[in-house]
Amino acid sequence: MRITLVSSIAIAAACCALAASAQTVYKLIDRNGKITYSEEKPKNFDGEVIQIDIDPNANRATMPKGTADEAAAMRKQAADDKQRKAAAAKKGDLDDALLKLDDARKALKEAQDHPSDDDVQYFGNKTGGVRVVPSDSYQKKIAKLTDDVKRAEDAVRNAGGTP
């Protein structure tokens, strides 16, 4: 009896494997051309019946499994890409900071080399020497331009450059 039970289980397992490996669907076309599908063969159907055998494994794809080395290489590549993008952005920041520093230095030099008549006052007499005295507004202007240069230099340092 024990052999019969084992045999029965083996036969049942084989039948399940066969049923899972192939499936049958029926395509039904009636007189009006309407198409329907059925898993069971119809009885007394007034139209065409086409049997379609389907292999469920036919459309299965197996993706190759990556190794740990490949995964590590992909992570390294992603990190390198991120680092390159950050460096490019930083280079852009540095270029902008250098341009701003150059502009600030030029503005300061221009103000120092070419003060306007409103920026200075002249004291003295016609026979003696004339002394040039900067106005309060000019001194504030130079102080502001000097601060602008210092801030621009700090921005260059923060962007990784040397002012």
Residue 60 within a domain: no
Nearby residues of 158 by Cβ (< 8 Å), 6 or more positions away: 97
Last residue in a domain, options 54, 77, 96? 54
Predicted pLDDT of residue 49: 92
Q: Are residues 138 and 109 in the same domain?
A: yes
Query: What is the pLDDT at residue 123?
Result: 74
pLDDT tens sequence across 14-66: 555 544 556 889 999 998 999 999 999 888 888 999 999 888 777 777 767 77
Q: What is the pTM of this model?
A: 0.45
Whether residues 34 and 95 share a domain: the answer is no
Beta bridge partners of 36: 28
In the numeric block, which tokens belong to residue 70?
Answer: 């490949």
Question: In this structure, what is the dihedral angle of CA atoms 98, 103, 106, 110, given to the nearest 10 degrees?
Answer: -170
Asked whether residue 106 falls in the same domain as residue 77, the answer is yes
DSSP state of 123: E
Whether residues 73 and 132 share a domain: the answer is: yes
CATH number at residue 111: 1.10.287
In whole angstroms, what is the distance from residue 6 CA to residue 29 CA?
Answer: 45
What is the torsion angle, in degrees rounded to the nearest 10, for the CA atoms of residue 83, residue 88, residue 89 and residue 95?
140
For residues 161 and 76, the model is more confident at: 76
142 & 103 share domain: yes
Check residue 160 and give its pLDDT: 81
Residue 42 falls inside a structural domain: yes
Give per-residue pLDDT as tens, 83-135: 887 777 777 788 888 888 999 999 999 888 888 878 888 777 766 677 778 88
Total number of domains in the chain: 2
Domain that holds residue 129: 68-158
